[in-house]
Amino acid sequence: MWVPERVERRFGKEGKERLLKEMERVGWEIIEPDGIKKHAKPGDTVVLVGGDELFPFKKVENPTYDPDLYVYTDNLYASLDDDYLIPELALSRLPDGGSLDLLIALLRSIGKKEVGAESLGVTAAVWKEAALEVYKEVGKEEMVVSPPSEEKDLPSLKKEILYFNVHGSDTSPYWYGEGKGKYPVILSPHSIPDFSGVVASEACYGAYILDKKCDESIALTFLKKGAVSFLGSTTIAYGPYYPPSTEADLLVKLYFQELKNGKTCGEALLEAKRKFFRKTVQEQGYLDKDDEKTLLQFVLYGNPLGRLKWTLS
């Protein structure tokens, strides 16, 4: 799904034609936003082509009392009715970061792609226990805890599954740990190597890409370096200090479980949001405002057809 006039405005007529040829090569039906309800049916996979300038996020008034005025979400593009908290479509976005070459590279990456089981988890010290509850879905190794760990202490990121429960920012390109009053930098764009796995991050603003170039965004850098997909939050995210998993922790945990069940990345996020809704309502009787924000703010970038080589079966 694309908005051709926005593409031409940014990359010119020649750039639009190049992009159209790449979309045609993928072989999927090419539609514009107003055609989604006519052409799609529940369970279909949809890809949004471009970042916010090419394909604007929907801005929903922030349901919580924090500094975010709005929640930037793709849920409305994944919903076939007015209940956009629970989408019906498996959806991913291909950001451009101001680069037509990046957008074309991401289009060329769309297709069946399997990743292995080697994993790495990184957490702020204050969330160690809660993060372990999530990470154990995909990893048996010890997590990197920050502090004491800093960016220079990170082991190789050339894994196939990366999980982060750290701090992020909408104004800084870095991610941070937290513990004993310290907030060390634990990851920056320049430290990300070539990478061909999946990333899931609970960092506040981990998926915030508005007006960002690749070197200003960890999410965009992961995609530029070859990540199959990136799951993250566009705004301030919430999570517990200790188990049981709720809010962002619960959503990412369910996402990992669905990947293990054999779902593609796009399908896994769709089913994780559905199960998040059912589980939360079953356990507390309703969705609170933090839960609503969680369902809205988590978005998927990259190849929606990626999946794990190994499953629960």
Pair (130, 41) in one structural domain: no
Residue 225 in contact with residue 269, Cβ under 8 Å? no
Q: Note whether residue 161 is domain-resident.
A: yes
Q: Are residues 157 and 290 in the same domain?
A: yes
> pTM score, two decimals?
0.97
Is 253 inside any structural domain? yes
140: pLDDT confidence band, cut at 50, 70 and 90?
Answer: confident
**What's the pLDDT tens digit per position in 173-211?**
999 999 999 999 999 999 999 999 999 999 999 999 999
Residues 158 and 141 occupy one common structural domain? yes
Domain membership of residue 252 (yes or no) is: yes
Residue 35 has pLDDT above 80, yes or no: yes
Q: Which of 77, 109, 141 is the last residue of a domain?
A: 109
For residues 88 and 210, the answer to whether their CB atoms sit within 8 Å is no
Domain boundary among 56, 81, 109: 109
Is the domain of 99 the same as that of 186? no
Mean pLDDT of 121-137: 98
Q: Would you say residue 136 lies in a domain?
A: yes
Question: Are 20 and 99 contained in the same domain?
Answer: yes
Instruction: Judge if 101 and 135 occupy the same domain.
Output: no
Q: What is the pLDDT of residue 311?
A: 62
The pLDDT assigned to 141 comes to: 86
User: So what's the pLDDT on residue 153?
Assistant: 96
Domain end, chosen from 83, 109, 135, is at: 109
**Same domain for 209 and 175:** yes
Q: What does the pLDDT look like over 217-245, one tens digit per residue?
A: 999 999 999 999 999 999 999 999 999 99
Please report the beta strands in 147-268, taking only residues with DSSP state E, as ranges in sequence order: 161-165, 175-176, 185-187, 198-201, 229-233
Residue 132 maps to which CATH number? 3.40.50.1460
Q: Is residue 163 part of a domain?
A: yes
Residue 22 scores a pLDDT above 70: yes
Q: How many domains does the chain have?
A: 2
In a domain, 223, yes or no: yes
Residues 158 and 298 in one domain: yes
Q: Are strands 113-115 and 306-308 parallel, antiparallel or unpaired?
A: parallel
CA-to-CA separations, 265 to 38, 69, 92, 116, 231, in angstroms, rounded: 24, 29, 9, 14, 9
61 shares its domain with 189:
no
Asked if residue 147 has a cis previous peptide bond (ω within 30° of 0), the answer is yes
The closest of 219, 222, 231 to 273, measured between CA atoms, is 231
Look up the domain containing 131 and give its range: 117-308
How far, in whole angstroms, is CA 192 from its chain's centroid? 17
CA 233 – CA 81 distance, rounded (Å)? 23
- Helices assigned H by DSSP within the chain: 4-26, 36-39, 100-109, 128-135, 218-224, 247-260, 265-284, 289-297
Domain for residue 181, yes or no? yes
Does residue 156 sit in the same domain as residue 208? yes
Of 222, 275, 273, 270, the closest CA to residue 109 belongs to 222
Residues 100 and 192 placed together within one structural domain of the fold: no
Give the Cα separation of 251 and 267 in Å (integer). 13
On the question of pLDDT at 313 being above 60, the answer is no
List, for residues 98-118, the tens digit of each pLDDT value: 999 999 999 999 998 999 989
pLDDT of residue 189: 98
Rounded CA separation 185/177 (Å): 6
Residue 313 lies in a domain: no
How confident is the model over 238-272, as pLDDT tens digits?
999 999 999 999 999 999 999 999 999 999 999 99
The reply to whether 170 and 91 lie within a common domain is no
